[in-house]
Amino acid sequence: MNNDSETDGFVRALTRALSDIVNEVLAPVRLRRRASAVAGAFVVASAAACSAGAPQPAPSAPENPTPSQVAATSSSASPKPSSTAVKKVNANYKKFDPKNFGDAIGGQNSWYPLVPGTQTLRDGSITRGSRKLKHQLRVTVTDVVKEVDGVQTVLVLDQDIDAGQIGEASVDYLAQDKSGNVWYLGSYTEHYEGGRFVSAPDAWLAGKRGAKPGVWMMADPKEGLKYVQMHNSRETIRSEVSKVGDKKCVPFDCFKSLVVLEDGTEFKYFGPGVGHIATEPNYSGGEQEKEELVNVVKLKPKGLAEMSAEALKLDKRARKESSVFANSEPAKRS
């Protein structure tokens, strides 16, 4: 009585439309973790999609991803940024020019080196009232590249692990210019429940629907420097360099850190040669989120291939789930 292919097509179109609506409502990067509560409202629609067709499984995660387990699949040496000399000139976020870019991959920016195989693990906690919810964030610089707004970007895979399962996975599309600035040109995020796809609330690309590139990390950060990290029709994320050179200790090591205040709500700490090492709130009360670096590794070729495969899957699904990505160039391994 019912045609399965017609039902699949209808549900897929409905799910995609709902995803676009969520994408218009939710801030793309600022509240990824906090967006989970909103994503729950769309479980019913996603469940319908799963019942009509084959459900999409979440990426796999270690049962208990401790630092030792991650290191066991990686080489012992910590990743090091490139020693290639670069004249550091801070970017003007208002003047994005594709001619100023080259290869997206490399470690010219010591505060956020884009070296494939670099993988960090941060322990995180969210305090809601008297409850403290723990999770881990695994971030991997892949060797997957994609052209966005006339520039080659590299995909950075961000996996949020709760109780041994990946509850959220995202890819950030980053590029570095010839002066060592790292630019932010897009993002795609998926949420999962019980290991199954729920929604894709975050999808934006520079050059699409009024979205513009922003600066992810300045080449030579100075205290008081203000800039825009990203801008689209829904919001603008502003950042300010708070401190440079202050000692910051996390479980992994102590660093002469860089502190960036994002949107006035949270401090992000960065360590030279490593990248993001900690997150602390800049407010009292409400939902308090904190993160600390517990491990940094250099993946072996097999491990890098696995992480890059996950990034490719996300980019492929983005072109199906989000109209923003629909006509974008497919990503590929470099």
292-306 pLDDT, tens digit per residue, is 999 999 999 999 999
Instruction: Please write down the long-range contacts of 60-68, taking CB distance under 8 Å and 24 or more positions apart.
Output: 60/166, 61/138, 61/159, 61/161, 61/164, 61/165, 61/166, 62/161, 62/164, 63/164, 64/164, 65/121, 65/136, 65/138, 65/161, 65/164, 67/121, 67/294, 67/295
73 vs 209, more confident: 209
| Closest to 324 measured CA to CA, from 165, 200, 227 | 200
The domain locations on the chain are 4-333
Confidence of residue 41 (pLDDT cuts 50, 70, 90): very low
Given a contact cutoff of 8 angstroms between Cβ atoms, the answer to whether 105 and 143 are in contact is yes
- Token pair, residue 161, equals 């692990």
C-alpha distance across the termini of the chain, in Å: 48
35 compared with 317, residue with greater pLDDT: 317
pLDDT at 332 over 70: yes
Once rounded to an integer, what is the mean pLDDT over residues 143-161? Answer: 97
The pLDDT of residue 206 is above 70: yes
Task: Answer yes or no: is pLDDT of 70 > 60.
Answer: no
DSSP state of 122: E
Query: How many alpha carbons lie under 13 Å from residue 97 in its C-beta half-sphere?
Result: 7
> Which pLDDT does position 6 carry in this prediction?
52
Q: Which two tokens stand for residue 81?
A: 């940024």
Judge whether residue 324 has pLDDT over 70.
yes
Q: Compute the average pLDDT of residues 30-48.
A: 37
Q: HSE of 212 in the Cβ direction (CA atoms, 13 Å)?
A: 15
Q: Which of 173-182, 268-277, 278-287 has the lowest mean pLDDT?
A: 278-287
b/e map 218-236, b = 16+ CB within 10 Å = bbebeeebebbbbbbeeee
3-state secondary structure of 5: helix
Amino acid at 301: P
Amino acid at 268: K
Asked whether residue 281 carries a pLDDT value surpassing 60, the answer given is yes
Q: Give the separation between CA 83 and CA 121, rounded to whole angstroms.
A: 24
Over residues 222-260, the pLDDT tens digits come to 999 999 998 887 888 999 999 999 999 999 999 999 999
For the chain, the residue count is: 334
What count of other Cβ atoms lies within 10 Å of the Cβ of residue 53?
16
Of 33-42, 55-64, 248-257, 320-329, which gets the smallest average pLDDT?
33-42
pLDDT-derived band at 86, boundaries 50, 70, 90: confident
Per-residue pLDDT at 67 exceeds 50: no
Concatenating the DSSP letter of every residue in 210-275 gives: T-B-EEEE-SS--TT-EEEEEE-SS-EEEEEEEEEEEEEE-SS-EEEEEEEEETTTEEEEEETTTE
State the DSSP H helix or E strand holding residue 193, giving kind and residue range, or none if neither: strand 182-193
Of 69-73, 236-240, 271-275, where does mean pLDDT reach its minimum?
A: 69-73
| ∠ CA 262-266-268, rounded to 5° | 75
CA 126 to CA 120: how far, in whole Å? Answer: 19
**Which residues partner with 121 through β-bridges?**
138, 295
The token pair that represents 64 in the structure block? 């208990």
Q: Report pLDDT for 4.
A: 52
Give the whole-angstrom CA distance, residue 167 versus residue 192. Answer: 5
pLDDT at 47 over 50: no
pLDDT at 42: 34
Please state, rounded to an integer, the average pLDDT across all residues of the chain.
Answer: 82
Is 251 in contact with 91 (CB distance < 8 Å)? no
Per-residue pLDDT for 87 more than 60? yes
What is the per-residue pLDDT for 12? 55
Measured CA to CA, the distance from residue 332 to residue 334 in angstroms comes to: 6
